[in-house]
Amino acid sequence: MKNQFILIFLILYTNMVSGQLNTSQNPLAIIPTSNITAVKQFENGEFNIYVNHDDLKRFKRQGFVQYGDMGATGDGVLDDMIYIVATHSLANSYGLDVKADNGAKYYIGGKEMTASIETNTDFGNASFIIDDRELKNRLLSVFEVKSQLKPIAISAVKSLKKGQDKIDIKLKEDCLVTVSDANVRRYIRYGLNQNKGRAQTDIFILDKKGNVNMSSPIIWDFVNISEISAIPIDKEKLSITGGRFVTIANQAPSKYTYYSRNISIKRSNVTITNLKHYIEGEGKQGAPYRGFISISDCSNVIVKDCILTGHKTYRTIGAAGKPVSMGSYDISVTRSINVSFINCRQTNDINDNQYWGLFASNYSKNISFDNCIFSRFDAHMGVFNATIRNSTLGYMGINAIGFGKFLLENSTVRGRSLINLRSDYGSTWEGTFTIRNCVFVPSKRKSTTVSLFSGSNSGLHDFGYTCYMPKNIVIDRLHIDDSNQNEDYKSIAIFSDFNPKMINTDFQEQYPYVKTEKVILNNISISSQKQLVVSENQFMFKEVIIKKD
């Protein structure tokens, strides 16, 4: 009944406009009134929120506001996005939590709007239908979790050293620092999606006294800093919980026009729990997605007890002029530190290759999976420290390049190899790998050799950095279930043939690839009873020390 009065009020007094909204997403004002609580939208897309005095007292007394309080119908038909945006605007202004209405079904159409979440939000058992078929702006998130703390400009720091532990700067609180040097190009990609690389970028945590947190150290020298900024780390935890989100997939041409219709996390110290995301309406064509849970420029984020969905794989023409499969993700992590996924899984079969791998990351540090069931772990432009425990990974397995320590423990991995060091970025890992108490189930393949570590580096391409294989590898208690392989399957190797041209001293690398120094093996079992060899390319790995405990 209340919603009917609100609708009448809007029609008679506010001249609601159905056009595109201002991209600022902010109301012009929140105005207490003796009239009914309502949202007034103007022709330029901006809007005012009118809050009844008694309603405002009630919201403050109970400590939360609901979408229905602002006028959302929750019937799954009428577009409720303006009321969702207004609810969070009111909550942010008065420090109120937000709760979805019990059993509601909110339809979110293609208007150019983002709801800013700055307070605890409980989506409960409500459903959110996100229709991506006709959008004003594919780059705008549906929800953006933001901090009320403002970024800090840094002008005094002109250079940094790799491993530097102290910076001569004072801050009011601990900060996540992002730094770049546009004169240095890193990650100069090779292959079908080749490019000219990206500006050298790094992130690290700095305390109030200027001490670098060495669990996320500086990994590059910055001789001439182009940009540097500090984002304060929130001390108070913000909680996002519940909700059933359904994306009606876009029907756009299959090109690299990524969609960001998601929940964007841009605040530190956030926990997301019991959220579910499903995808409907994928057809013969579609543009890829950046990630429904998209975490960027923050630290200390936990995603727990959530259900996600893999996107259908579409193909397009890549930078090299040849057909490629486009990466499309339901989880992405970018320029973030200390991000954990706990007890999460995906709705579709993790071994169904119709769907792209669920997870990807760039420029991030200290990422962990614990008790997760996903089709893939992937670190594109580097990760520093990664941990996978008690998890199962599907047909796309583990793909990574980066630095530091990689721990794989108590897990089952399916895929073409146990660990794939991405060849498009030089198959580089400057650090160590520890694999403990795991099962590897290699996918069926045409090749007659299975490998634990796969990758490729010709020694002829400049990736913008020296490429390394893991310096030391420890494999303790690994079972290789190769029972599904073809009859002509011949051997299983620690390393695949990373460079088939490097078979004698005649081959000279222009950009030398630093090989593994030592592999420690303990309690390796193979279903077929085959022997584990170092590599088909015996020359390339002739100096690797193999130690069996």
Q: What is the pLDDT of residues 115-163, one digit of tens each?
A: 999 999 999 999 999 999 999 999 999 999 999 999 998 988 999 999 9
Amino acid at 353: N
pLDDT over threshold 60, residue 10: no
Give the pLDDT of residue 26.
Answer: 66
pLDDT over threshold 90, residue 490: no
Q: Tokens in use for 422?
A: 């991405």
Average pLDDT over residues 213-219: 97
- pLDDT band at 482, cuts 50/70/90? very high
376 in any annotated domain: no
Q: Tokens in use for 291?
A: 């990630």
Phi, psi of 62 (to 5 degrees): -85, -20
> Quick one: 422 and 537 in the same domain?
yes
> Quick one: 17 and 76 in the same domain?
yes
> Quick one: 203 and 158 in the same domain?
yes
96 in any annotated domain: yes
> Quick one: 97 and 33 in the same domain?
yes
**What's the DSSP call for residue 119?**
S
Query: Tens digit of pLDDT for each residue in 245-278?
Result: 999 999 999 999 999 999 999 999 999 999 999 9
Q: Tokens in use for 461?
A: 């391409």
Strands, E, within 167-237: which ranges? 175-186, 198-206, 227-232
Q: List residues bridging with 406 in a β-sheet.
A: 386, 433
> Quick one: 91 and 175 in the same domain?
no
Q: What is the spatial distance between Cα 246 and Cα 135, in angstroms, rounded to a whole number?
A: 16
Q: What is the spatial distance between Cα 140 and Cα 144, in angstroms, rounded to a whole number?
A: 9
Average pLDDT over residues 76-89: 96
Domain end point (choices 77, 99, 131)? 131
Which helix (H) or strand (E) element contains residue 69?
A: helix 67-70
Query: Tens digit of pLDDT for each residue in 413-422?
Result: 999 999 999 9
Question: How many CB atoms sit inside 10 A of residue 427's CB?
Answer: 24
Indicate the range of 13-22, 106-115, 524-533 predicted with least confidence.
13-22
Query: Tens digit of pLDDT for each residue in 269-287?
Result: 999 999 999 999 999 999 9
Give the pLDDT of residue 285.
Answer: 97
Domain end point (choices 131, 160, 190)? 131
334 in any annotated domain: no
Average pLDDT over residues 79-95: 96
Average pLDDT over residues 465-488: 94
User: Under a CB-based contact definition with an 8 Å cutoff, are residues 86 and 115 in contact?
Assistant: no
Give the pLDDT of residue 25.
Answer: 56
pLDDT over threshold 90, residue 335: yes
User: Under a CB-based contact definition with an 8 Å cutoff, are residues 247 and 280 in contact?
Assistant: yes
Q: What angle do CA 250, 240, 327 make, to 5 degrees?
A: 35
Give the pLDDT of residue 290.
Answer: 96
Q: How many domains does the chain have?
A: 3
> Quick one: 83 and 165 in the same domain?
no
Domain residue limits at 534: 416-549
> Quick one: 118 and 214 in the same domain?
no
- pLDDT band at 2, cuts 50/70/90? very low
> Quick one: 158 and 122 in the same domain?
no
402 in any annotated domain: no
79 in any annotated domain: yes
Average pLDDT over residues 203-232: 96
307 in any annotated domain: no
340 in any annotated domain: no
Give the pLDDT of residue 3.
Answer: 45
- pLDDT band at 43, cuts 50/70/90? confident
188 Cβ contact partners less than 8 Å away, ≥ 6 residues apart: 195, 196, 197, 461, 462, 463, 464
Mean pLDDT score across all residues of the chain: 93
> Quick one: 22 and 127 in the same domain?
yes
The proportion of the chain whose per-residue pLDDT surpasses 70, expressed as a percent, equals 95
> Quick one: 463 and 546 in the same domain?
yes
Q: What angle do CA 249, 250, 255 make, to 5 degrees?
A: 125
Tell me if residue 158 falls in helix, strand or coil.
Answer: coil
> Quick one: 482 and 541 in the same domain?
yes
Q: What is the spatial distance between Cα 90 and Cα 95, in angstroms, rounded to a whole number?
A: 8
Domain end point (choices 81, 98, 131)? 131
**Residue written as token pair 């030398």:** 512
Query: Tens digit of pLDDT for each residue in 384-427?
Result: 999 999 999 999 999 999 999 999 999 999 999 999 999 999 99
Query: Tens digit of pLDDT for each residue in 226-240?
Result: 999 999 999 999 999
Let me know how long the chain is.
549
- pLDDT band at 42, cuts 50/70/90? confident
Q: Which long-range contacts (CB under 8 A, 24 or more apart) does 370-376 make?
A: 370/340, 370/341, 370/342, 370/343, 371/342, 371/343, 371/344, 372/341, 372/342, 372/343, 372/344, 372/345, 373/344, 373/345, 373/346, 374/308, 374/344, 374/345, 374/346, 374/350, 375/310, 375/346, 375/350, 375/351
137 in any annotated domain: no
Q: What is the spatial distance between Cα 119 and Cα 140, in angstroms, rounded to a whole number?
A: 20
> Quick one: 92 and 208 in the same domain?
no
